[in-house]
Amino acid sequence: MKSLISFAKRSAQLAAGFVCAIALAAGVPTVAGAQVLTTDNVCGKTADARGITAENLPDIDATNALVMGKDGTVYYGRGADEQVKIASITKVMTAILTVENCKMDEKVTVSNTAATVGNSTAGLLEGDELTVEQALRGLMIPSGNDAAIVLAEYVGKKIEPKTKDAEATFVKAMNERAKKLGCTGTLFENPHGLDFDEWAGDMHSTAHDVALMMQEAMKNDTIREVVASEDSWIEVTGADGADHSHSMDTHNYWLC
C-alpha cells in the first residue's frame, strides 16, 4: 500500500502535463484550485476501491488527466476518456502528419487564407516562403494558426495531388491517423484548433487520446528538437525576396 500511495503522490507532477494540455489550453473550465478526488483511477481501479484516502492522493488543478507508460500502461487517470474541446492541442496531429509526409528542407508558401486566420500566429505574411522545418517552428513554438494552415495546404496537396480542397484532405488524414494510433474519442475539423465563430463545430478529444498523440509525436527527432529549442525566432523569405527573421511568443503545451 505504501508504494501505491507513493506512486499516487508522484503522479501529480507527471499528470500535470497532460492535464494542462487537455484542460487549460482548450479553454475548458478547470477545477477551482487543486483538488483531490478519490474517484481518480490508480493502476486500473479507483482510489476508493484501493482504499487510498484523500490525503494520499495527488491534488491536481485540472478536470482531465492521464499518466501513461511507454508501453501504453495507464498508471493514473482522471476523466481520461471524457470528450472535451482541445483547441491548439490539435496542432500535435498537424505536426505528426507533417513530419511523416515531408522533408524538412521542402519550401512552402504562405497563402492569403493562412496569413489572415488571426488569433495565435507566427506572424507570417501572404507570399512569405519558408522551409517545412521553419513552418513547424511557427506551428509549435507560438502555436501558430497561420503555420498550421500553411502546412495543411501543403501536406494535403502531397497526400492527394488532385484535391480541390487541400486543407479538407489534410483534416481527413488527421482523423484517419488518429484512428490508427488507437484514438477512439477524437474528432478533428481543422488543422489549428480554433473552435469558435466561423470555426465553431464539434472538435474534441480525450486525455487518453492526447497521450497517444503526444507519445507518437515525441518519437520524431525534428519535433523533439523544436520542443527543446531555446530560440523563439523563425526565418522566412518575404514576397519581395528579402530574407528576414522575427521573434515569436511561446506556448508550452508541448512540455508534457
Point out the residues that are catalytic: 88, 91, 143
User: Please, is 13 exposed, middle or buried when counting C-beta atoms within 10 Å of its C-beta (0-12, 13-18, 19+)?
Assistant: exposed
For residue 37, the 8-state DSSP code is -
How many helices (H) and strands (E) are present in the chain, helices listed first?
9, 8
| CA atoms of 39 and 209, how far apart (whole Å) | 20
| H-helix or E-strand spanning residue 65 | strand 65-68
Which class for 169: exposed (0-12), middle (13-18), buried (19 or more C-beta within 10 A)?
buried
Using an 8 Å Cβ cutoff, are 213 and 97 in contact? no
Half-sphere exposure of 152 (CA within 13 A, CB side): 31
Q: What is the four-CA torsion angle of 148, 150, 154, 157, rounded to 10 degrees?
A: 80
Instruction: Give the span between the Cα atoms of 216 and 127, in whole angstroms.
Output: 32
Separation of alpha carbons 97 and 31, rounded Å: 33
DSSP 8-state symbol, 80: T
Angle of helix 90-101 versus helix 166-180 axis, rounded to 10: 100
